[in-house]
């Protein structure tokens, strides 16, 4: 682990992550696809192995030692997520598959009941499809309206337009805490306070944010907050939804079945208390063990030092990419996370990703599940390099060297 007084060194993180030491196409791997998923520390991999080797059991039901142990671990995971997000209580955390499932849960449970004809859902243009399409579906189902909030050319949300669009018809505002295509970090706290003046609820999509900077849902005053484990060094298939206790308490179940009931009969079925009411069926128990290990791993570093390191690395990468002739970085807004989406004249994003892959460098090419954000720049596809705490300046230099070679060829 790092010693806090010397800040943060990416080497401390790299040592823990086995996959970063493999080669791809004969070159040491440079993983710059962290916006899609992050690589896993040995501590997370070992937590999964240990669970299946020594502790595997279903939870809540079954009065035996291992069921009790698995339940304790699962609930300790919930308490860890609550602390990690600054949530008031573990009961305000629902385990889900990830951000997508969390948003669908809110749309279909809260939205189905609380939205109606003529209600507005404000959705900034830069949102991930996971934070657009569930709202379009529930809008169809309830005859509410999805209203896009426009962007400025630099990739920031147009705050004047946002203030103008808010009205007593606004029932919900959704905002990503950091954009997966532009890296923009909107003023979520201020936007939330403004929405609350109109009694609107606010859902914050934290999928890209939580790995990069400390989050406090109480300070943000968010009504809902979501994230995916796999983007924060944990396994796929596990994530969390935070909702304010009084909101969660009033929400109807979404999926139904085992684990979410109190008693079942053909005359009358009653539901378990929150948050179990929202966790029908057997969950991703080993995933919670992995998530717990990932959050323990990340929070053992000085998170402010990690965020400072990533900010410096992002600034370095922006300057380095600017040396590539013709390269255009989308959304140069200040205060961004390390998500660098770009185009290079004469080369399609697919060609760029292929070329970099040949050099062992993984970047993403495509629409990044944010077609409206790309359309804002007149594009349907772009290349994206996204940074994590374990990336280094040397890796950024290798990215730039490959791009320069591609440009010269």
Alpha-carbon span 230 to 241, nearest angstrom:
14
Any contact of residue 33 with ligand PLP (CB under 6 A)? no
Shortest CB 133 distance to ligand PLP, Å: 11
| 157 closest CA partner among 144, 176, 172 | 176
Q: Indicate if 369 belongs to the active site.
A: yes
Q: Applying CB under 6 A, which part among 67-75, 228-236, 254-262, 345-353 lies near ligand PLP?
A: 228-236
Shortest CB 11 distance to ligand PLP, Å: 27
Site for ligand PLP in 151-210 (CB under 6 A): 176, 180, 205, 207-208
Alpha-carbon span 288 to 41, nearest angstrom:
15
| 99 closest CA partner among 242, 250, 262, 228 | 228
Site for ligand PLP in 70-129 (CB under 6 A): 98-100, 128
Shortest CB 54 distance to ligand PLP, Å: 28
Instruction: Tally helices (H) and strands (E) across the chain.
Output: 15, 17
Find the helix or strand (DSSP H, E) in which 307 lies: helix 303-321
Of 2 and 37, nearer to ligand PLP (C-beta) is: 37
Number of chain residues interacting with ligand PLP (CB under 6 A): 14
Any contact of residue 228 with ligand PLP (CB under 6 A)? yes
Of 34 and 92, nearer to ligand PLP (C-beta) is: 34
3-state secondary structure of 225: strand
Any contact of residue 284 with ligand PLP (CB under 6 A)? no
Question: What value, to the nearest 5°, has the Cα angle with vertex 248 and ends 202 and 113?
Answer: 75
At residue 8, φ and ψ (nearest 5 deg) are: -130, 135
Of 7 and 372, nearer to ligand PLP (C-beta) is: 372
Contact 290, 229 (CB under 8 A): yes
Check 238, 260, 369, 382 and give the catalytic one: 369
At residue 215, φ and ψ (nearest 5 deg) are: -120, 140
Question: Hey, which residues are catalytic here?
Answer: 369
Residues that bind ligand PLP (CB under 6 A): 98-100, 128, 130-131, 176, 180, 205, 207-208, 228, 230-231
């Amino acid at each position: 682990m790092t010693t806090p007084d010397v800040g943060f060194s990416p080497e401390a993180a790299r040592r823990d992550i086995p996959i970063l030491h493999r080669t791809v196409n004969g070159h040491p791997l440079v993983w710059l696809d962290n916006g899609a998923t992050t690589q896993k520390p040995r501590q997370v991999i070992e937590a999964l192995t240990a669970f299946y080797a020594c502790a595997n059991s279903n939870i809540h039901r079954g009065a035996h030692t291992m069921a009790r142990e698995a339940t304790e671990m699962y609930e300790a995971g919930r308490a860890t997520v609550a602390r990690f997000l600054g949530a008031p209580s573990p009961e305000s955390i629902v385990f889900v598959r990830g951000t997508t499932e969390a948003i669908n849960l809110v749309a279909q449970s809260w939205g189905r009941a609380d939205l109606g004809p003529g209600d507005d859902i404000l959705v900034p243009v830069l949102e991930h499809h996971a934070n657009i399409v569930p709202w379009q579906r529930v809008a169809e189902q309830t005859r509410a309206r999805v209203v896009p909030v426009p962007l400025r050319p630099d990739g920031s949300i147009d705050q004047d337009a946002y203030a103008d669009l808010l009205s007593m018809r606004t029932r919900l505002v959704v905002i990503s805490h950091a954009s997966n295509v532009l890296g923009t970090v909107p003023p979520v706290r201020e936007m939330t306070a403004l929405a609350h003046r109109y009694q609107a609820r606010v859902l914050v999509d934290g999928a890209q944010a939580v790995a990069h900077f400390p989050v406090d849902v109480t300070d943000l005053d968010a009504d809902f907050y979501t994230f995916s484990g796999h983007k924060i060094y944990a396994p796929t298939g596990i994530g969390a939804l935070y909702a304010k206790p009084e909101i969660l308490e009033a929400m109807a179940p979404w999926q139904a079945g085992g684990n979410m009931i109190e008693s079942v009969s053909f005359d009358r079925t009653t539901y378990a208390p929150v948050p179990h009411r929202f966790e029908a069926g057997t969950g991703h128990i080993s995933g919670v063990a992995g998530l717990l290990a990932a959050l323990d791993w990340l929070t053992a570093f000085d998170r402010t030092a990690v965020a400072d390191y990533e900010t410096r690395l992002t600034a370095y990468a922006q300057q380095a990419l600017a040396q590539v002739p013709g390269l255009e970085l989308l959304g140069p807004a200040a205060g961004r996370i390390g998500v660098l989406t770009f185009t290079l004249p004469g080369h399609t994003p697919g060609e760029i990703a292929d070329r970099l892959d040949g050099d062992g460098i993984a970047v993403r090419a495509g629409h990044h599940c944010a077609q409206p954000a790309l359309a804002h720049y007149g594009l349907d596809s772009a290349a994206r390099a996204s940074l994590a705490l374990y990336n280094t300046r040397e890796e950024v230099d290798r990215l730039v060297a490959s791009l320069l070679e591609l440009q010269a060829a």
